[in-house]
Amino acid sequence: MLDIDLVTILAEILNFLVVAAALYFLLFKPTVKRIDERSQKNEALLSSAKQKEEEAEEKLAQIENRLANIDKEIESRLEQAYQQAQSESQALLEETQKEAENIIRDAEREAEKRQSLEMQELEQELVDTILNISSQVLSKTTPDKTHEKLIEELNQEIWDMGKSDMPQVRTIRDSLAERTPTVNVVSAKELTPDQQRSLVRTFSALADRNVNMEIEIDPELIAGIRLRMGDLVVENNLAVELEELKSEVMESLEESMHAKEG
């Protein structure tokens, strides 16, 4: 029979357990832990790789979808660009048309102004020509009696003013101060001695003192005279009547033109 030493066996078992425990804690457990960590890391890497793969697949799908619709997108973009170009072209056309209309209106107004100015110049020239002819005809045909009558009328007008308008008479006398007044006479024709004396008498009464008289002949007056003494200027001749007639004719022509334009 075998001689079994239980103590030795138990000791061996105990040693085995100690060695097994030491191996477990010192070798197996760390190894298992590293394996678990590596497994988890691999799973994380695998999950990340799978996620990236899914994202890549999604992007690839989007690219494929976009590529599939690229023709439609290009067509849509081209349509938008065409519509925008049409809109801008229409706006530019309208702006150009407005500018052209403004230029045409300005040109029409300028043409109307020029036409109106030319008409006024033509009217002025026509009236001047008619009055010049009338002046020449009157200079040749006006009788001396008309000239004498115009002088008498003016002389009487000054004489009557000395009787009826004393405030104006005093103003005229005050303007003469103390000097001997001079009457400047412009006559269409030579004055007779009687006409000169009559004028001297009238203006001496007006000035309340003796006066000197200077006489100038101007045939352009046609008939009649123009007188000046100090600030007083009076005239009665056919030239001034023709000038007044000219103003009336020009005013009438302007009114007629305005009526036609209206």
Lowest mean pLDDT among 54-58, 165-169, 201-205, 226-230: 54-58
Q: 250-259 long-range contacts, Cβ below 8 Å, gap at least 24?
A: 250/123, 250/124, 250/127, 253/123, 253/127, 254/120, 257/116, 257/119
For residue 28, is pLDDT > 60? Answer: yes
**Mean pLDDT in residue range 31-44:** 78
- Alpha-carbon gap, residue 83 to 80, rounded angstroms: 5
- The position carrying tokens 């020009």 is 250
Alpha helices, DSSP H only, in 142-183? 144-164, 166-176
Measured between alpha carbons, how far is residue 193 from residues 148, 159, 221 in Å?
Answer: 12, 19, 20
At residue 4 the predicted structure's pLDDT band, cuts being 50, 70 and 90, is low
At residue 258 the predicted structure's pLDDT band, cuts being 50, 70 and 90, is low
Identify the burial level of 106 via C-beta atoms within 10 angstroms of its C-beta, where 0-12 means exposed, 13-18 middle and 19 or more buried.
exposed
CB 133 within 8 A of CB 178: no
Tally of CB atoms within 10 A around 129: 10
- Alpha-carbon gap, residue 59 to 220, rounded angstroms: 108
Per-domain boundaries in the chain: 143-261
Residue 80 is which amino acid? Answer: Q
Measured between alpha carbons, how far is residue 19 from residues 11, 30, 41, 136, 230 in Å?
Answer: 12, 16, 31, 160, 156
Tally of CB atoms within 10 A around 186: 18
Angle at 226 between CA 222 and CA 227, to 5 degrees: 160
| pLDDT at 212 (0 to 100) | 93
Interval 137-183: pLDDT, tens: 776 788 889 999 999 999 999 999 878 888 888 888 888 877 789 99
Number of helices (H) and strands (E) in the chain: give both, helices first. 6, 4
**Mean pLDDT in residue range 89-103:** 84
Interval 209-234: pLDDT, tens: 999 999 999 999 999 999 999 888 99
For residue 87, is pLDDT > 90? Answer: no
| pLDDT at 192 (0 to 100) | 94
Measured between alpha carbons, how far is residue 60 from residues 47, 48, 52, 75, 212 in Å?
Answer: 19, 18, 12, 23, 123
At residue 3 the predicted structure's pLDDT band, cuts being 50, 70 and 90, is low
For residue 20, is pLDDT > 90? Answer: no
At residue 257 the predicted structure's pLDDT band, cuts being 50, 70 and 90, is low
**Mean pLDDT in residue range 26-30:** 73
